[in-house]
Chains A and B, each alone.
Chain A
C-alpha cells in the first residue's frame, strides 16, 4: 500500500465524512489483520465467494454431466476428487454446490438479521407492552426445535431449497432479537441517548439511527458464527432429502447419495463432507476474529 494512502487513512483530523469512515474502517482492518486464524477464516470465506461466482470457469465438467463409463472412480488426474455413482465429477459438483450453500446462507442472513435487530431494538427501547408482546412472540419461536420445525415445515409444504431457507430463517431470528434487546437495554440508559431525546428526536429515529448502530456489530459477529450452523442445517436437510433435491449438487444431498458407497468408495461422501467442514470452520474463525475487532466493550 502506498504511504500517502496510509497517512490519509490514519489522519487524526479527517477532512470529510468519507475519510473519517474509511479511516475508522482501516483501523479495524489493521487490528483484524493481527489475528492469523481470523485471516485464515477470511480467506476461506473469500475463497468460497470467489468459487461460487466463477463456478463455470473453475469447474472442469458440468455439475450434471454424466459419464457412465467412469462411475465411482477414485480421485485421479482426470477427476481430482473422483466421480459419483452416475459418473459425475465430484470436484465440479462441489464447486457448483458452493453457489447453493452461499445462496442459502445469504438468504437466511438477509431475512434474519434485519428482523431480529428490529424486533430486539424496538422491544428494548420502548419497553412496556411493546416489549411484552414482541418478546413473547420471540419466546414462541424460540420454543420450536430448529431441525424439527424445519422438518415439519418442509414436510407440510414440499421439499426444496426455498422451503428449507424459510424454515431455517423462521427458527434462527429469535436469538438475534434477544441479543439486540439486551444491548438496547444497556444503550438506552446512556447519556448520548438522553442527549438526542433532549434534542426532540422521535422514538423511531432514536432506535434506527442511534440505538441500532450500537447493536449491529454484535449482530454481525453472531451472524458470522451462526453461518456455520446454517450451512450444517441446510446440509442436514439436504441429507434427509428435505432440502435441495437431486440432481442439484447441494453438499448435504451429495453426502446422502454417497452414503451407500461409504465403505468402498469413501470419496463420494467424504469430499462434500470436507467442503462443509472447511467452510463452516472458515466462518467460525472469521466470526471469532470479528468479535475481537468489533466488540463494543473493547472501546
Chain B
C-alpha cells in the first residue's frame, strides 16, 4: 500500500466535513472517491495533498506517517490536478512560466527539455508554450495543469474532478490522456468525482462518500454487476442513469 488513511477527520467550524474516513491505495492503482457535492470527497483529497492543516487521524505515504507540514520531498512525489482549469492557472503567467515553476521549486535540471517533453506528452505542441491561459480553451488548460503536475515526475496524482468543468466531448479526451499517462509512468491515481461513470471508467476500486463518511468501498466490477449494498450507493447509481422525480424525492428522505 503506497497510501493509507485511517480515521481521517476534518472539521470546519462545527461542521464535520470528513468523519472517520479510512481507506488505502495500492501502488499503481487508480482509486476513486465518489459522492455528491458536500460529501467531503474533495476535502479528503486536500488533506492528502497537504493543503488543509487541521485534519485528524493518520495518513501514511510509502510506509511513513505524514505530518501536517509536508517537506519538499513529499510534493515531488505527490502532485495534484484541480477541478477548475480556469482557476488553477495563474492568469498573468504563460504556460512556460507555469511549467518552469515546479522545476525551479524542486531544483531540477534540463528544464528546457523537460518543459518541451511535458507539453508533448499532454498533446500540446511547442506552439502553446508561450501562451497565456486566456488564449487557451478549457481542455487545453487542463492539459497544461496535468503537464504541470507531471513535470516533477511524481509517483502519485491526486485528481480533484479533473473533467467536471469541461465539455462532454473534451472530458473523454482528457480521461483517456490521464489513463494513458498512468500506464506510461506507472502512476498511482486518487480520483475524486461525483460522476460514477467517470470513476467506473478510470478506477479499479472506489469508495462512496456521504456526509463526510465512507459508506461503502467496492471494486468497479462489483459496481457494474450492481452489487452495491449500501442504499445510498444504489441511489447514486440510479441517479447516474438520468433524472427521475421519484428518485429525486428519495434523496430528501434518505439520511
Interface residues of A (CB under 8 A from B): 12-17, 19-20, 24, 190-192, 194-201, 205, 209-210, 213-214, 296, 299
Contacts and interface: CB of A to CB of B under 8 A. Distances in A.
Given A17-B130, A192-B90, A200-B75, 15 more contacts: A12-B135, A17-B96, A24-B132, A191-B82, A192-B89, A192-B91, A194-B51, A195-B145, A196-B105, A198-B75, A198-B79, A199-B106, A200-B74, A205-B105, A210-B90
A55 B52 CA distance: 59
Contacts of B75: 198-200
B152 A199 contact: yes
Nearest to A21: B94
Nearest to A205: B105
Given A190-B87, A200-B75, A13 B127 contact: yes
A150 to B, nearest CB: 36
Contacts, number: 77
A17 B97 CA distance: 9
B105 A201 contact: yes
Contact of B70 (A14, A24, A200): A200
Interface in B43-95: 49-51, 70, 72, 74-76, 79-80, 82-84, 87-92, 94
Nearest to A299: B91
A192 B101 CA distance: 12
Contacts of A196: 101, 105
Nearest to B106: A200
A299 B74 CA distance: 35
Which of B49, B76, B90, B128: most chain A CB closer than 10 A? B90
Interface in B195-244: none
Contacts of A205: 105
Contacts of A16: 130
A192 B87 contact: yes
B89 to A, nearest CB: 6
B131 A13 contact: yes
A11 to B, nearest CB: 9
Contact of B79 (A20, A199, A209, A296): A199
